[in-house]
Structure 1
Amino acid sequence: MNLTNEDPGLTCYTDGASRGNPGPSAYAYLVCDRDRILDETGKFLGKATNNEAEYQAVIAALDAGARFSHGSVTVFSDSELVIRQLNGRYAVRAAHLLPLYRRVKEREGMFQNVEYRSVPRENPLIRRMDALCNRILDDAVKR
């Protein structure tokens, strides 16, 4: 219950997957406003690392979220590396991740507030995003 009448903002759940590292990769995200799903999408990326796919998921989720609100957004991911890098706890040392990190940071300007939180892989919405990534990868392999 929100006793302050403040808008709780958007929540985004993201996941990236790679079969091989690098290998065929995909991302998925879910954007919610309270209990309502506003957007749920995934995309095949081609050859990428798992961390690249995780970053691409955050970028896509922020882009999607900006279509609905410019207030607060909280991004949930099971990628501790990506979340810790975005929160400034870890430096981005891998040259191939730095452009993706910068793209995320640029997108933060579309919102009043952006928060990144790590959640376990067992989170039901993260599992849902993982399943969507795997369906996309399965479909891409069949082609």
Structure 2
Amino acid sequence: MRKNLLKKETADLIIARVNNLSAIHQPQWGTMTAAEMLLHCNSCNRQILEEERGNKKTQPKQYLLRILALYIAPGFKKNIQGETEHNTKGKANDLDFEKYKSEFVELISQFPFNTKPLTLSHPAFGNISTNEWGIAAYKHMDHHLRQFGV
């Protein structure tokens, strides 16, 4: 069964993993610090939960990428570049690590109790369902927690 952040047991697993993360953890790939990674994840999760982007037309390439990334590939590719609006390099203060971590836990805790459709268009996958957002959000959080070995 596919892990989905909309399921409480999956959200709880992600929270347990992030609770093992400290500000001194070093990335196994990439250049973000642990604080920058948390700030990045918080920015993405807040956008998923709060924003609507309308219904942009999904391109055929996006359908194929969605099937591959969400249903076939075991995880997201290392060192892949995201949207520039979520680039947090140099924008996170290590002294605020615990604040970012607390916000991370709060946002992840909201996913299983979300009752509204998640309608944000994904930049790579196009228009995806609420269930697919749960899968994508889990894979994204798993990717970054693996990046820091937790």
Question: Same fold by TM (over 0.5)?
Answer: no
- The normalised TM-score by structure 1 is 0.25
- The normalised TM-score by structure 2 is 0.25
* Greater relative CO, 1 or 2 (CA 8 Å, sep 6+): 2
Greater fraction helix: 2
